[in-house]
Amino acid sequence: MIRTVLPHLRAQGGGRVLQVSGEGGQIAYPGFSRYHATKWGIEGFVEALSKEMAPFGISFTMVEPGPARTNFVGGVVQPEPIEAYDGTPTHDTRDAALGGDWVITGDPVRMVDAMIATADAPEMPLRLALGATSHTAIREALMARIIALDAQREIALSTDCTPEELA
């Protein structure tokens, strides 16, 4: 869809694209690896594309809703559980999702309203977290990544060529 619309947006001198992703493009739940691979993939694609299209006045927002009161879980194809995963985080996630233990607070109508308001705003953010669950989970994941990255600083810097080697 994006490939099809870009020539039209370039020809008209700009435009806006909202790409639905999900909190799953910033975080990862055990047992949802294939789902997260698609979300992280689309987020990398759109982030790079947003930089490529900025000179043409084309902006992008990745919409990252958290769980919403839809039939999403009802549409998830789940294979039979594997006994080896009993008692693991994967098992716990599956039980919570299928057992109804997750309290889903996201309102899909309010989420759509927020998307429309964002598209109509003078400036669009690159990412738009929707719902308290999404905001909290993404923030926690980003903070954990920053802490992990900072802990690696010395190792990261040690792998560069020295000024003498570059001379």
Please list the active-site residues. 21, 35, 39
What is the CB neighbour count within 10 angstroms for residue 6? Answer: 17
CA–centroid distance for 19 within its chain: 10
The whole-angstrom separation of Cα 62 and Cα 20 is 6
Question: What residue type is assigned to position 112 of the chain?
Answer: V
Helices then strands, each counted (H, E), the chain = 8, 3
The whole-angstrom separation of Cα 88 and Cα 86 is 6
